[in-house]
């Protein structure tokens, strides 16, 4: 028997409880993983609170990330004892996920833990950190080097935002942070941000083109903030958009694209091909300093998840939250 957080639905409401399960309760997939750590992402918050249509069928063990050790495998790709990471692939949405002491996974969802990284570090990074790395790689693909000017990060004190600030700063970029929480300034300064903008000033409706201020941007919030970021991006700048914490709309015009050659690059980590994922995980090993991660992460257990989920949806969580199911 082992513990897992189980979501059920009653009269349209999502209910969560820590339950004891048996290995035979797990879905019939090829690789059995003893979970060392999972993590809390915005999407997990939406799933547990039932505030977004994230979960496709109930009962569901949520948790879109996990890292652990293979204990049984019917796949030649993995053997007992292999250390693995899983993020994305609709796990925790369509398939049972990481808020559990054991999980059964398809081999194609897994990547091997890079040498020099442990499960706790992998989950301090998690989907949010992987997405931040993919956003930085998107800026690099757009030719945004540190000498081009300042990169702005929105939702900066959140999971994706915090890791993005730390990576950009480590790579030598000048980083501006958009945050709704003044109390996060010191934290963000510690990660490498040197300029601060309020959520309110950036959310104000913008003209189609504003004064150019940003060589590049990583946007985790969408809506009017992303529209303003686009209107303020330099000629030939790149904006990597990955989130909707402020809303899914994008009230913009074609002007930044046709007059300033601005590139808007979408970033998705869920279905990201394995070769790019592996590249991103290896980059995280070198480009995200351990001391930054220590400052970014806190640890909770399965029973703490309902409260933490409500907090992340309310925008009250700073940095990354590691989940220890054991």
Cβ closest to ligand NDP, residue 14 vs residue 127: 127
Do residues 67 and 85 touch, judged by C-beta distance below 8 A? yes
How far lies 294's CA from each of 131, 159, 315, in Å? 19, 13, 21
Query: What DSSP line would sit under 271-323, residue for residue?
Result: S--HHHHHHHHHHHHHHS-HHHHHHHEEEE-GGGHHHHHHHHHTT---SEEEE
Cβ closest to ligand NDP, residue 168 vs residue 317: 317
Q: Give the contact letters, 38-67, x = binds to ligand NDP (CB under 6 A), - = no.
A: ---xxx------------------------
Cβ closest to ligand NDP, residue 93 vs residue 234: 93
Cβ closest to ligand NDP, residue 97 vs residue 180: 180
Rounded to whole angstroms, how far apart are CA atoms 288 and 281?
10
> Cis (ω within 30 of 0) for the bond into 59?
yes
The answer to whether 7 contacts ligand NDP (rule: CB under 6 A) is no
Using Cβ positions, the residue closest to ligand NDP within the complex turns out to be: 158
The answer to whether 277 contacts ligand NDP (rule: CB under 6 A) is no
> CB under 8 Å to 52, separation ≥6 — which residues?
43, 46
Among 246, 281, 296, 325, contact with ligand NDP (rule: CB under 6 A):
246
Minimum CB–partner distance for residue 259 and ligand NDP (Å): 27
- Chain centroid to CA 324: how far? 18
Minimum CB–partner distance for residue 16 and ligand NDP (Å): 18
Rounded to whole angstroms, how far apart are CA atoms 199 and 47?
25
Which residues ranging from 163 to 222 are in contact with ligand NDP (CB under 6 A)? 179-181, 184, 199, 220-221
Q: Enumerate binding residues for ligand NDP (CB under 6 A).
A: 41-43, 127-128, 131, 155-161, 179-181, 184, 199, 220-221, 225, 242-246, 267-270, 312, 315, 317
């Amino acid at each position: 028997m082992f513990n897992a957080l189980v979501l059920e639905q009653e009269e349209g409401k999502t209910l969560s409880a820590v339950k004891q399960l048996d290995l035979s309760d797990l879905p019939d997939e090829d690789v059995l993983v003893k979970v060392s750590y999972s993590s809390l992402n915005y999407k997990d918050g939406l799933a547990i609170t039932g505030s977004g249509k994230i979960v496709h069928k109930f009962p569901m063990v949520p948790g879109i990330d996990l890292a652990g050790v293979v204990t049984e495998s019917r796949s030649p790709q993995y053997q007992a004892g292999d250390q693995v990471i899983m993020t994305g692939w609709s796990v925790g949405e369509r398939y049972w996920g990481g808020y559990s002491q054991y999980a059964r996974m398809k081999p194609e969802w897994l990547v091997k833990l890079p040498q020099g990284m442990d499960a706790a570090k992998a989950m301090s990074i998690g989907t949010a950190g992987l997405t931040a790395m993919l956003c930085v790689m998107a800026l690099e693909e757009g030719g945004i080097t540190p000498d081009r000017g300042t990169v702005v990060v929105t939702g900066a004190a959140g999971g994706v935002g915090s890791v993005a600030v730390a990576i950009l700063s480590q790579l030598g970029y000048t980083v501006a942070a958009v945050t709704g929480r003044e109390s996060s300034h010191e934290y963000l300064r510690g990660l490498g941000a040197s300029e601060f903008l309020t959520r309110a000033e950036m959310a104000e409706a913008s003209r189609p083109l504003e004064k150019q201020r940003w060589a590049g941007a990583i946007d985790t919030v969408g809506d009017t903030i992303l529209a303003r970021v686009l209107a303020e991006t330099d000629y030939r700048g790149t904006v990597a958009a990955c989130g909707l914490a402020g809303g899914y709309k994008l009230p913009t015009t074609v002007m930044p694209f046709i007059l300033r050659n601005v590139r808007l690059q979408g970033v998705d980590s869920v279905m990201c091909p394995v070769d790019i994922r592996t590249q991103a995980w290896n980059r995280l090993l070198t480009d995200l300093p351990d001391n930054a991660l220590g400052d970014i992460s806190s640890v909770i257990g399965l029973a703490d998840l309902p409260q933490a989920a409500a907090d992340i949806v309310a925008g009250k969580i700073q940095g990354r939250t590691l989940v220890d199911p054991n």
